[in-house]
Amino acid sequence: MFTRIGTAALRSCFRQSFSRKFASTENLLVDLYRKEGALDTVTVSLALNDLRDGGIRKTDKRLLPLLERLVHAQENENGQMSAEEFEKLLNCTNLELAYKAFQKQLIIPDFQGFRAEVTDIFEGVRENREGNIATYIPDLAKVDPDLWAAAICSVDGQRLALGDSAKRFSVQSAGKCLNYAIALDSVSSDVVHKYIGLEQSGKEFNAITLNEEGRPHNPMINSGSLVLCSLLERGRSVSDKLDFVRSQYERLCGGESVGTNSSTYSSEKETGHRNYAIGHLLQDSGAFPADGPPLGEILDFYFHLCSIEITADTGAVIAATLANGGICPTTGEKVLSALAVRNTLSLMFSCGLYDYSGQWAFAVGLPAKSGVSGCILVVVPNKMGLCLMSPRLEEHGNSVRGIDFAKRLADKYNLHQFDLSGKDYKREIEEEAN
């Protein structure tokens, strides 16, 4: 189902060979869509359908001039375009991407088949109504418990969105992995881990406890995130810090909409008594940097970060940026360093789903980070990113449907990071039993 993605060196070799090949066959794509019986005319609808079926949207920024002109010709020019103009458009766009998309050589070559199978999984999971919404944050208690969204973005920018994928929600703790990655690049790993550990806590994500060294166990729980808030953009106001982090989120998702919810922020601030207690413990233990901001500012910044809003569709691009080594698939911009991504994925794998992290690593085997809003960001390295959203939570604070979907998808496509053989073990067991 998936095309293997090579190393940077292999990609460089591909670009060189591609340039040599295409220099002698520059009209290959034009030939694909020439109208039968009219060699000087291209049938636009065929080209648009192939892009759509391959997971490329009409709004894809990387091919936007080509896409806008094709759409205009389809709507206003009887779906026809001269072969000469089509060739000129191709030569003025991301030719390598266009070639791979039209020739079905993207990371998910059979995207139509993939879409159908993932949709079946999505609808099957919809029937799972176990779990309860988080009520200890008043604003989350108002959310429709039946919301269900799943979105996928491949490292080549192929997009799939199902259910309530355009519905906005607060990232809550799902944003902790992103804040950590941003801090690794803006502050440095050495500084971050001078104050924050690397191990699972073995306790609830909001436990009022520290490790034996008097530090938070890891950056994926509340105590660790509070210390991160004391390190990020030191010396700047809370509003400036929030603007900085939001701008980084926007780069991670290719410029798609990232907002903040003032109602959620107020709700967090008014009822976050446990976070206040954790903050005082951190302060009393000397866990914050000596030259850091006052505790009140740290907590205020933390509540703002929990209240950042995205959609599942946007979250999938963010996860795909992590899957793509820090390069946003929809823009090609390098947002995070490879080291920041590696360290972030490592801790997402070991600590990303609270006290369920060990079971998740065993059953799904992919880096992920959840939040009590019902969001789970899932990363399939070198292949794709997912954002799953359903507010009904299991006992540890993770989305029930999100876990169910991820398990089924990982089983379907052998996505577990330690399944090195590519075998379908589930089928083997069933065959042996029969």
Highest mean pLDDT among 91-100, 193-202, 216-225: 216-225
**Whether residue 33 has pLDDT greater than 90:** no
User: From the centroid of its chain, how far is CA 434?
Assistant: 40
CA distance 325 to 291: 33
Confidence class of residue 21 from pLDDT cuts 50, 70 and 90? very low
Count of Cβ atoms closer than 10 Å to residue 301 Cβ: 25
Mean pLDDT of the chain: 90
Task: Output the pLDDT for position 31.
Answer: 86
Task: Output the pLDDT for position 36.
Answer: 75
Residue with tokens 């991504």: 341
Please answer whether residues 349 and 343 qualify as being in contact, where contact means their C-beta atoms are separated by less than 8 angstroms: no
Task: Output the pLDDT for position 18.
Answer: 44
Confidence class of residue 423 from pLDDT cuts 50, 70 and 90? low
> Which class for 58: exposed (0-12), middle (13-18), buried (19 or more C-beta within 10 A)?
middle
Please answer whether residues 42 and 33 qualify as being in contact, where contact means their C-beta atoms are separated by less than 8 angstroms: yes
Q: Which of 102-116, 198-212, 258-272, 362-376 has the lowest mean pLDDT?
A: 198-212
CA distance 357 to 217: 14
Provide the greatest CA pair distance for the chain.
Answer: 81
Residue that wins the pLDDT comparison between 176 and 93: 176
Domains of the chain as residue ranges with CATH: 8-102 (no CATH), 118-413 (3.40.710.10)
Task: Output the pLDDT for position 12.
Answer: 43
Q: pLDDT over 90 for what percent of the chain?
A: 76
Please answer whether residues 396 and 163 qualify as being in contact, where contact means their C-beta atoms are separated by less than 8 angstroms: no
> Which class for 117: exposed (0-12), middle (13-18), buried (19 or more C-beta within 10 A)?
middle
pLDDT digits (tens, 9 = 90+) for 234-243: 999 999 999 9
Please answer whether residues 227 and 196 qualify as being in contact, where contact means their C-beta atoms are separated by less than 8 angstroms: yes
Confidence class of residue 14 from pLDDT cuts 50, 70 and 90? very low
Residue that wins the pLDDT comparison between 27 and 345: 345
CA distance 368 to 352: 5
pLDDT digits (tens, 9 = 90+) for 298-322: 999 999 999 999 999 999 999 999 9
Contacts of the segment 89-96: beta carbons below 8 A, 24+ positions apart: 89/65, 90/26, 90/29, 90/30, 90/66, 91/26, 92/65, 92/66, 93/62, 93/63, 93/65, 93/66, 94/62, 94/63, 95/22, 96/15, 96/18
Residues 6+ apart with CB under 8 A from 96: 15, 18
Task: Output the pLDDT for position 30.
Answer: 86
Task: Output the pLDDT for position 3.
Answer: 59
H runs (alpha helix) in 214-337: 222-231, 238-252, 262-271, 273-284, 295-306, 312-323
Q: DSSP letter string over 103-158?
A: TT-SSSS-HHHHHHHHHHHHHHHHT---SB---SSHHHHTS-TT--EEEEEETT--
Q: DSSP letter string over 28-83?
A: HHHHHTEETTEEEEEEHHHHHHHHHHTT--TT-GGGHHHHHHHHHHHHHSTTEEEH
CA distance 87 to 84: 5
Question: Residue 293 corresponds to which amino acid?
Answer: P
Confidence class of residue 427 from pLDDT cuts 50, 70 and 90? low
**Whether residue 23 has pLDDT greater than 50:** no
Confidence class of residue 105 from pLDDT cuts 50, 70 and 90? very high
Contacts of the segment 271-278: beta carbons below 8 A, 24+ positions apart: 271/136, 271/137, 271/138, 272/299, 272/303, 274/206, 274/208, 274/222, 275/206, 275/222, 275/226, 275/299, 275/302, 275/303, 277/208, 278/206, 278/208, 278/222, 278/223, 278/226
CA distance 416 to 409: 10
The single-letter DSSP state of residue 386 is E
**Whether residue 75 has pLDDT greater than 60:** yes
CA distance 310 to 153: 15
**Whether residue 163 has pLDDT greater than 90:** yes
**Whether residue 168 has pLDDT greater than 90:** yes
* 97-124: average pLDDT: 95
**Whether residue 283 has pLDDT greater than 80:** yes
**Whether residue 394 has pLDDT greater than 60:** yes
- The 10 Å CB-count burial string (b at 16+, else e) for 66-81 is bbebbeebbeeeebeb
pLDDT digits (tens, 9 = 90+) for 113-146: 999 999 999 999 999 999 999 998 899 999 999 9
φ/ψ of 65, rounded to 5, equals: -55, -45
**Whether residue 8 has pLDDT greater than 90:** no
* 10-35: average pLDDT: 56
Confidence class of residue 38 from pLDDT cuts 50, 70 and 90? confident
CA distance 226 to 230: 7
**Whether residue 428 has pLDDT greater than 80:** no
**Whether residue 104 has pLDDT greater than 70:** yes
